[in-house]
Amino acid sequence: MTSSADSSSWPLWEVFIRSSRGLSHVHAGSLHAPDATMAIRNARDLYTRRNEGTSVWVVPAEAIMASDPDSKGAYFESAQGKSYRHATYYTQSEGVKHL
């Protein structure tokens, strides 16, 4: 019953869908498929049955490199405490038009 052709031993692909022109691709889910062509085809069948997309990407799951969730603090905290990166930090210009 279980052969090497079993769908579960096929590589895992992550599916990304662009819902309309001008937007970025967003992760929709994943699926197993023997190669990229079939992964695209299956992604179309599985994730875009109701006009969800205008474009589909599939990426081999193992090709995705991710940041370590445990080092979230150290990794992203440098963005904190830098309020001067935001426009709202600058208050002197309030009330001045087109600024």
Site of interaction with another protein (CB under 8 A): 1-10, 12, 28-35, 37-38, 46-47, 49-50, 66, 68-70
SS3 70: helix
**Smallest distance, another protein to C-beta of residue 59, A:** 14
57 and 72 in contact (C-beta within 8 Å)? Answer: no
What is the smallest separation between the CB atom of 33 and another protein, expressed in angstroms? 8
Measured distance CA(86)–CA(45) in Å, rounded: 42
Q: Which is nearer to another protein, 80 or 91 (CB)?
A: 80
Name the residue nearer to another protein (CB basis): 69 or 81: 69
SS3 at position 46: helix
